[in-house]
Amino acid sequence: MARRVGIVGAAVTPFKAKWYEKTYYELAQQATREAVKDAGISINDVDGVFYGIYNDIFERACIPEHPLQGLIGMQNKFGIRISNGGATGAYTMSAAHAYVAAGRFKVALVLGVEKATDCFDFQSMSATPEVIKTIGWSGDSFFEQSIGWTAADSYAEVVLAYKDEHPNDLKPEVTAQISSLLSQQVKTNPYAQRQFDQVTPEEVMNSRMVAWPFKELEICVYSEGAAAVIVAEEETAKAISRNTGQPVVWITGVGESNEHSFAGKNQKVMSRIMSDYYSSHRAYEMAGIEDPAKAIEIVELHDAFVHQLEISCAEFGLVPLGRGDALIEDGLMTPGGRYVVNPCGGLIYSGHAVGASNIMSAWSARNELINRGLKTALVHGTGSTVAQYGACLVFEHD
């Protein structure tokens, strides 16, 4: 029988638009140092490390994790890298959970790091176009890269197909309100890239179109940073908890799904994010959750785009499909509402340091469960073309 696995330590570095002062070596070590300190253990107590690094090009090295093994004190131990597009962090936690649940390790480190904005476009003299170009190498290399595929336009395909089916949902006024709300929530996250970038719905509406239908203030910002989580099997987790005085947050459900990347009959259903549907419902099943709308209290989801946040919540079963706007219109995610959605500010305001992002979300969900005294959270990652990859974890606090 699988062993129970819990989170006993976590840490993040500040997420910044650009870390001139640190390389990804130092960022990775900093998150590791802080995470083992948070767990009150030595790095010598950790049996294996799971690296979440999305993109070789960002780190400017193939197998970018190899220098980290010794730099974080994990020499001569197990180390494996997970790379699953935007869902890298969630998938990395899933992998670590599986190894610990299976009894391979007592304690494991989940370490995500990314240095995206070292990429630089010397034509526009800015980083963003080159970051987008770099991610553009993630599209289908035979049929899509040469016609300008980007992460934004591939997610826009899904959003517009959803709008084809549900023309009255995802109203611009509502997506603007969600972005504005997230910008308020980020104020309490001192590690966020845009902690003090509060915007009004009007400002969101007035921000420039980047890829229709996405406006600049409805899109996550690329970041540099690292995040780390320490997971342990039940007895070890309880012993660590007794030592630190911090409660264990248990990972009670894990689910993953990768869809077709091509469209049409028997392929990807473009108007749905089935990867979110399957991954969340598989996680619910494992956690024994029958009605997520009643059980889930905190959602730390990968908001690559505000519109996708709404669709993802529908796929999670938190609002009906076609009623994503209920998150605002019915007050479900507004202060005092049914759900606490992205209390860290989400990736739109905290920043998206890709391999580290979902691990940062896990760090936030754990903190929020403990600090608010709530019981159940859902942590989510999405990635690849047309939201093809999805991974979800259910966290529970005794």
The contact set with another protein (CB under 8 A) reads 20-21, 57, 60, 120-125, 129-130, 132-133, 136, 140, 142-144, 146-150, 152-153, 156-157, 160-161, 163-164, 196-198, 203, 206-213, 215-216, 262-267, 270-271
Non-local CB neighbours of 32 within 8 Å, separated by 6+ positions: 11, 43, 72, 73, 109, 111, 228
State in angstroms the smallest separation of the CB of 315 from another protein.
17
In the bound state with another protein, the residue whose beta carbon lies nearer, of 184 and 243, is 184
HEC secondary structure over 304-361: CEHHHHHHHHHHCCCCCCCCCCHHHHCCCCCCCCCCEECCCCHHHHCCECHHHHHHHH
Minimum distance from CB of 65 to another protein (Å)?
A: 17
Nearer to another protein by C-beta: 184 or 206? 206
CA 310 – CA 324 distance, rounded (Å): 5
Q: Tell me the pairing of strands 224-233 and 5-12.
A: antiparallel
CA distance 8 to 234: 10
d(CA 347, CA 264): 31
In the complex, least distance from residue 321 CB atom to another protein, rounded to whole angstroms = 16
Give the nearer residue to another protein in terms of CB position, either 20 or 336: 20
Q: How far is the CB of 173 from another protein (least distance, A)?
A: 16
Furthest-apart CA atoms within the chain: distance in Å: 57
The answer to whether 390 and 276 have CB atoms below 8 angstroms apart is: yes
Q: How far apart are CA 150 and CA 156, in angstroms?
A: 10
Name the minimum Å distance from CB 11 to another protein. Answer: 22
Q: Which is nearer to another protein, 148 or 336 (CB)?
A: 148
**Closest CB to another protein among 207 and 244?**
207
Say if residues 345 and 179 touch (Cβ distance below 8 Å): no
Q: Which is nearer to another protein, 8 or 57 (CB)?
A: 57
Half-sphere exposure of 218 (CA within 13 A, CB side): 33
Cβ 9 to another protein, closest distance in Å? 29
Given the complex with another protein, which of 106 and 268 has the nearer CB atom?
268
Query: Reduced to 3 states, what is the DSSP secondary structure of residue 13?
Result: coil
Q: How far is the CB of 280 from another protein (least distance, A)?
A: 23
Give every CB contact of residue 228 below 8 A, 6+ residues apart in sequence. Answer: 9, 10, 11, 12, 31, 32, 34, 35, 109, 110, 111, 112, 359
* CB 127 within 8 Å of CB 119: yes
Least Å from the CB of residue 190 to another protein: 17
Closest distance to another protein from the beta carbon of 283 (Å): 26
Minimum distance from residue 85 beta carbon to another protein (Å): 17
| Torsion sign, CA atoms 132, 138, 139, 143 | positive
Judged by beta carbon, residue 58 or residue 395, the one nearer another protein is 58
Task: Closer to another protein by CB, 119 or 283: give it.
Answer: 119
Question: Residue 146 or residue 188: which is nearer to another protein going by CB?
Answer: 146
CA distances from 112 to 227, 235, 261, 266, 387 (A): 5, 26, 25, 35, 20
